[in-house]
Structure 1
Amino acid sequence: MFEPGGVFYELFGPMAPVLIVGAMAVLLLLLAVSMLFKQRPDPMEKLAAQTRQQKVSKNETLRSGGTRNEKLEKYGAFLEPQDQESYSEIQKKLMQAGYRGRDAVRMFHAAQVILGVLALGLGLAYYYLVLGPENATTQQMVMYILGPGAAGYFLPKYWVSRRAGKRHEEIEDGFPDALDMMLVCVEAGQSLDQSILRVSKEIQSSYRELAYEFQVVSHEIKAGKDKSTVLNDMGERCGVQDISSFVTVLIQAQVFGTSIAEALRVYAGEMRDKRVMRAEEKANKLPTKMTLVTMGLTVPPLLIILVGPSAMGIMKLGSLAG
């Protein structure tokens, strides 16, 4: 289409790709501006939002990381999903990755837009200044212009997924030790609330993310929030199956009136066995992962040692015969 002889080339000349991309960018910009100006706040919704904000407690401020950024407030309609389900899903993923601020969703979408636009600009610069439109095909144009833009747009999502994976691994590694310390505290006569706070202080230097979650639980219980709701919120924030099972065990022990110490003892033993099994699984995967590396480092030198002298002998015989 954009090559000599194509429809767009005949209409707009050699600058056809530039004009098309520029028109698309202007169109997107006008669409975004129209969305910002057309959406007028409903007075009833504004009043309801103010009422909800007044009812926010101190522990909610602790979980959310403070007040909102005023600079991002005016772009909230553009940087936040208007669907409550989508907003909750993105917020949950960011919380599981350790981003708990009230502006986390806005910052996430702002990073996607900024990186996407910057990468798109770099792709355009490379295509027109280095590669040259005359020497490139349509496929190359799409690859060098839209490819970096898509990579920049999805880079924050990849970063959040990696961050969430590392956080989950840290929580899983520290959870058995935290259960053992919690069991000692409960058997020493402390309540569950006191033991959670004490364990959070003890593991602060080793497992910071798990300690933070225990601190949030302790503060929310002190604020008067229902213990079952607090524990369920912790399992949702962590996103780890072991935490969710632990929350279920504690809730069942509280509902049926069984001993919390006995439940902690049994579950702590299971968590220690599970941690050993995870370590054994990683150890069993290691030989398979090392196979290609071992072959790549040992086979070429071995071939040189075995085949090298024969090759040299054949070359000498060929030279003598010639």
Structure 2
Amino acid sequence: MGWVVFAAWFMFAWALVDLDRIARERRKLRLRAGMLLYGSDGFESLRKKERPSRLQRLMRLLLRTAPRFSAWGSRIDFASSDADVQRLLLYAGQPLGMTVEQFQGLKILLALLGFLSGLMLMIIGFPFGPLWPVLLPLAGYGGSIYWLRRSADARQDEITRSLSDFLDIMSVTLKAGLPLDRALALVAQGIGGPLREEWEFFLQRLALGHPREQVWGALIARNRSAEFQALIKALIQGHRLGTPVSETFAFHAEQMRRIRREKAKEAAAKAAPKISFVTTLLIVPATMFLFVVLFGLNIARTLGPIFSSQTTAGTP
């Protein structure tokens, strides 16, 4: 009975995940249609007006409750000290406007919810019942940290991927005679994504009167993409030495193309051992099994009549 209940809950959770994925795909298609019909301004207006997904609404509900447990989260800081969380939130672009206090409370809240869920599973007789009150709190605590780290890595990878095209467009725009800040504002409107958010942050800080080098330093602190940091450091050096900015962008665009080619070659080189491993682990045993089965069938077909004739001859 317990396995039936477990399978039913598993299928229910799987259906919820699929429904959320379908809803996210529909939102992406709707926003792309707005981008094609109305341009970047229409895309932004639709993005701001779109309804949050069920998962986002659930997360916001949890974030409203999470600060009550933030003191516990700051004390229980395994793999999630305040400094680490602050840095990861910056790298991830502060998803849902999350603060350090909210995240520290969120991981404890998820651990408590995991404990209560595990206790319920044990009471209703799930298989391996005593393990659930131990495993689910650990999953809630560790899953929140894993989600934040994955969000930070995904955002930084997106910045690195979109940087090459951005550099090419900036180089052409600067050579056309536009000043740096105006070119950044113009190009950032068309690229979208986290890279646009970073340049909007840069321009907003400049508009508020912050020193340029201080804002560049803030960009370096907010991102760990090596290519993006190299670009900012080159801009700082060029600003101090008076190097033309268009040359800096053109040089880094060429460097990004070279790095992309090298990464493609590296990925191709790493793919061969993986393919060999899959071939050795799966295809070769399956082929050998097929040969053994065919060999056995041939032997049975050859020797079967002999044994049957002997059996008939020996029968009185």
Normalising by structure 2, report the TM-score: 0.67
Equivalent in the alignment of 1:214: 199
Change (3 A) 1:86 1:154: closer
Contact 2:155 2:194 (C-alpha < 8 Å) held by counterparts = yes
Q: How does 1:67-82 map to 2 (within 5 A)?
A: 75=68, 78=71, 81=74
Change (3 A) 1:310 1:214: same
AA in 2 matched with 1:129: I
Contact 2:68 2:105 in 1 (8 A): no
Q: Are 1:276 and 2:271 matched, yes or no? A: no
> Which secondary structure does the structure 2 equivalent of 1:236 belong to?
helix
Contact 1:80–1:87 (CA under 8 A) maintained in structure 2: no
1:226 is aligned to 211
The 5 A counterparts of 1:1-322 are 75=68, 78=71, 81=74, 86-99=81-94, 103-130=98-125, 141=130, 143-204=131-192, 208-295=193-280, 298-315=283-300, 317=303, 320-321=306-307
CA distance in 2, matches of 1:131, 1:268: 57
Gaps of 5+ in 2: 1-60, 312-316
Structure 1 gaps of 5+ residues are 1-68
Contact kept, 8 Å, 2:89 with 2:98, in 1: the verdict is: no
Report the Cα offset of residue 295 of structure 1: 4.1
1:13-63 deviation per Cα after TM superposition (whole angstroms, max 9, x unaligned): xxxxxxxxxxxxxxxxxxxxxxxxxxxxxxxxxxxxxxxxxxxxxxxxxxx
Q: Give the deviation of 1:86 after TM superposition.
A: 4.3
**Stretches of 4+ moved more than 6 A in 1?**
none
Greater shift in the superposed pair: 312-321 or 147-156: 312-321
For residues 307 and 179 of structure 1, the distance between their equivalents in structure 2, rounded to whole angstroms, comes to 59
Displacement of 1:313 after TM fit?
A: 3.5
Higher-helix-fraction structure: 2
AA of the residue aligned to 2:253 = A
For each residue in 1:80-118, what CA deviation from the matched residue of structure 2 results, as whole angstroms up to 9, or x when unmatched?
Answer: 748xx9434312201211226664223322321222111
Distance 1:284 1:115, change over 3 A: same
Give the letter aligned to residue 99 of structure 1: Q
1:289 shift after superposition:
2.5
Tell me, in whole angstroms, the C-alpha distance in 1 between the residues paired with 2:73 and 2:185: 35
Distance 1:168 1:216 in 2: 16
How far 1:263 sits from its partner (Å)? 2.1
Structure 2 CA distance, aligned partners of 1:192 and 1:310? 74
Q: Does the aligned pair in 1 maintain the 2:66–2:102 contact within 8 Å?
A: no
Residue 232 of structure 1 contacts residue 244 of structure 1 at CA under 8 Å; is this kept in 2? no
2:22 paired residue number: none
Q: Is the 8 A contact 2:66 2:103 kept in 1?
A: no
Matched residues, number:
243
The one-letter code of the counterpart of 2:164 is: P
TM score, norm. by length of structure 1: 0.66
Report % sequence identity: 25
Cα 1:100/1:256, change in 2 over 3 Å: farther
Q: Is the 8 A contact 1:246 1:267 kept in 2?
A: yes
RMSD after superposition: 3.1
With over 3 angstroms needed to count, the CA separation of the structure-2 counterparts of 1:215 and 1:74, relative to structure 1, is closer
> Aligned letter for 1:291?
S
- The answer on whether the counterparts of 1:72 and 1:106 sit within 8 Å (CA) in structure 2 is no
- For the 8 Å contact 2:238–2:244, the answer to whether it is kept is yes
With over 3 angstroms needed to count, the CA separation of the structure-2 counterparts of 1:319 and 1:252, relative to structure 1, is: same
